[in-house]
Amino acid sequence: MQQREEKQLESALDSIIQRVNDLKTSIAAMIYKVENEYETLNWPTFLDNFALLSGHLTSLSKILSHDKCPVLRNLTVLPLLLSPERDEQLAQMTEHRVSTFAYDLVPDYLRTKLEPLAENKMMQLEHKAATVAYENAQKQVAAYQKVVTHIWDIVSKAREEWEVESSARGNTQQHSSVSDTHLLVTAVGMGKGLKPVPSSNGQPGQAPGSMMVAPQGRPGSASGQGQIPPATQSMTMNKAPSAIKTNIKSATQIHPYGR
């Protein structure tokens, strides 16, 4: 029976030590982020670390409240050896926080009650609470509840407004298209997607707004006898039909360069 209890105690202590080490590592990581990464640390990351600490505390509480875990408050820790000299094994176990297990440190590390100053403070508060009249205590409780209710109403109203704004931003209709904007910019800047306007003879002409100037012939040259060379005919300007009617009469004067 005694061996069974010792095994249960040893197993429970191993589990408790493991959970405490995990909790200690998480606390150290959180303190490091607060002290060194405070410029880039955001609220969601802080909440994730806090949730990790809460998970470790929950696991430790489950181990302590388990049926197979012995009641630790019924056990007493006694020092086996007290020495003012440095103990390397103790320093290694405590990560060099405690190097000696001397007489002046034993009351602090093996204390089962509060420190004398903390104990006196608690006794003063308990005495003050016991001397308060019932009616005054009820008035103070009602005042605290009123303040907490007012703060809760403010927080709830701010949350409702934030949710309404978030839903309104999510339901906003889109009045533009990014793809259409890119197509319009490429069409105006580089002419992408534009089709040439067909001319009256069925040949593809130029795009609207374009102009081509044909060279004029000089007097006495072959091109200056009222004819346009074949290479220049394809460069003539496509004119749109005008809405203004004109009446052109044939000239009776003989061209001086006629044949």
Residue 1: what residue type? M
pLDDT tens per residue, range 44-100: 888 888 899 999 999 999 888 888 888 888 888 888 888 888 888 888 888 888 888
Q: Evaluate whether residue 57 is within a structural domain.
A: yes
Q: Please give the residue range of the domain that contains residue 51.
A: 1-75
From first CA to last CA, the distance across the chain in angstroms is: 140
Structure tokens belonging to residue 146: 């009123």
Q: Evaluate whether residue 216 is within a structural domain.
A: no
Max mean pLDDT range (41-45, 150-154, 204-208) = 150-154
| Cα atoms found within 13 Å of the Cα of residue 156, Cβ hemisphere only | 6
Q: Interior CA angle at 206 toward 227 and 238, to 5°?
A: 40
CB of 86 within 8 A of CB of 100?
yes
Q: Evaluate whether residue 45 is within a structural domain.
A: yes
Helical H segments across 115-170, by residue range: 116-131, 134-170
- Domain check: are 3 and 56 in the same one? yes
- Domain check: are 121 and 103 in the same one? no
For the domain that residue 27 is a member of, what is the CATH number?
A: 1.20.58
pTM: 0.42
| % of the chain residues with pLDDT over 70 | 72
- Domain check: are 155 and 107 in the same one? no
Main-chain dihedrals φ then ψ at residue 198, nearest 5 degrees: -70, 145
**Number of domains making up the chain:** 3
Question: Tokens 């509480």 belong to which residue?
Answer: 61
pLDDT tens per residue, range 127-144: 988 888 888 889 999 999
Q: How confident is the model at residue 256 (pLDDT cuts 50, 70, 90)?
A: low
- Domain check: are 82 and 69 in the same one? no
- Domain check: are 107 and 55 in the same one? no
Close Cβ partners of 140 (under 8 Å, ≥ 6 residues apart) = 132
- Domain check: are 28 and 13 in the same one? yes
- Domain check: are 64 and 47 in the same one? yes
In the three-class reduction of DSSP (H, G, I as helix; E, B as strand; rest coil), residue 109 is classed as helix
Report the alpha-carbon distance of residue 116 to residue 110 in Å, rounded: 14
- Domain check: are 49 and 108 in the same one? no
Q: Evaluate whether residue 21 is within a structural domain.
A: yes
Q: Evaluate whether residue 170 is within a structural domain.
A: no
Query: Can you give the pLDDT at residue 254?
Result: 52
